[in-house]
């Protein structure tokens, strides 16, 4: 049986509430507010990150990008542009390995801590949320996240845009099913995701939803998020 996560609200820097996990990922938040969190993994991407930023600036939408440390090192100006655009940057590890397959706890720690430090140094803002590559966890992962007070974010709505067989229309139809409190998982690198984005925004707005970052969504949690969430065993990195 899937366990509900009991939230522990803490006062973080800047006076904003944050959530620590209890060895359970967060896929959505039970909230009466008509909000949804769009999230994008694996960036910054040299071609598609600027395209997404342009769309979000035009539409007045703020989202969360879970960024890979090695990609931030290659494209620091894009990481800073995300922050300048009002978006949230989450920790997606340094090199995007499957953390559950790393036998050495020190290697797991390095992947998370190194990315945290690099993103903080590059943008001036420390990530407040984490997403595991392939949504895969282990006891070593949870230990590091507890130390850093980072909640692990999964998804309630997985578009599977990483799959070459998934079409633009399928991404659109899946993302448009999101409801209040849901976290939608997409990736920065697929062109089809970028192409679907304006219509995704339009359809979700037509349902009365507004867009928030993951940290903003977590701050609305009354007691506990929705349990479980999707997994992406076949997810790939760019």
DSSP string, 83-122: HHTT-EEEE--SS---GGG---HHHHHHHHHHHHHHHHHH
State both tokens at 55.
Answer: 């769309």
Residue 169: exposed, middle, or buried by beta-carbon count in 10 A (0-12, 13-18, 19+)?
Answer: exposed
Give the CA count within 13 Å in the CB-facing half-sphere of 13: 6
Q: Is 214 helix (H, G, I), strand (E, B) or coil?
A: helix
> Low-confidence residues of the chain, pLDDT below 50?
1-21, 224, 231-238
Q: What letter does residue 162 receive in the DSSP assignment?
A: T
pLDDT of residue 10: 31
Task: Indicate which residues carry an active-site annotation.
Answer: 41, 187
pLDDT of residue 42: 98
Global pTM reads 0.87
pLDDT of residue 230: 53
pLDDT of residue 221: 86
Among candidates 214, 168, 170, which has minimal Cα distance to 191?
Answer: 168
pLDDT of residue 222: 72
Q: How many CB atoms lie within 10 A of CB 73?
A: 15
Helix axes 48-59, 76-84, angle to 10 degrees: 10
């Amino acid at each position: 049986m899937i366990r509900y996560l009991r939230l522990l609200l803490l006062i973080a820097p800047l006076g904003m509430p944050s959530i620590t996990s209890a060895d359970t990922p967060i896929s959505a938040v039970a909230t009466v507010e008509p909000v949804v969190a769009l999230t994008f993994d694996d960036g910054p991407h040299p071609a598609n990150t600027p395209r997404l930023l342009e769309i979000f600036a035009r539409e007045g939408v703020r989202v969360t990008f879970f960024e890979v440390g090695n990609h931030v090192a290659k494209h620091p100006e894009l990481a800073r542009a995300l922050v300048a655009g009002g978006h949230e940057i989450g920790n997606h590890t340094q090199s995007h390995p499957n953390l559950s397959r790393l036998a050495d706890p020190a290697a797991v720690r390095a992947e998370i801590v190194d990315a945290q430090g690099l993103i903080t140094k590059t943008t001036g803002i420390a990530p407040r949320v984490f997403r595991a590559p392939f949504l895969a966890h282990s006891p070593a992962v949870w230990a590091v996240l507890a130390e850093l007070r980072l909640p692990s974010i999964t998804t309630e709505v997985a578009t599977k845009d990483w799959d070459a067989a998934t079409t633009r229309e399928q991404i659109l139809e899946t993302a448009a099913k999101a409801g209040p409190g849901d976290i939608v998982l997409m990736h920065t690198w697929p062109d089809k995701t970028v192409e679907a984005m304006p219509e995704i925004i339009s359809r979700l707005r037509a349902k009365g939803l507004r867009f928030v970052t993951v940290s903003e969504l977590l701050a609305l949690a009354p007691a506990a998020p929705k349990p479980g969430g999707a997994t992406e065993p076949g997810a790939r990195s760019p």
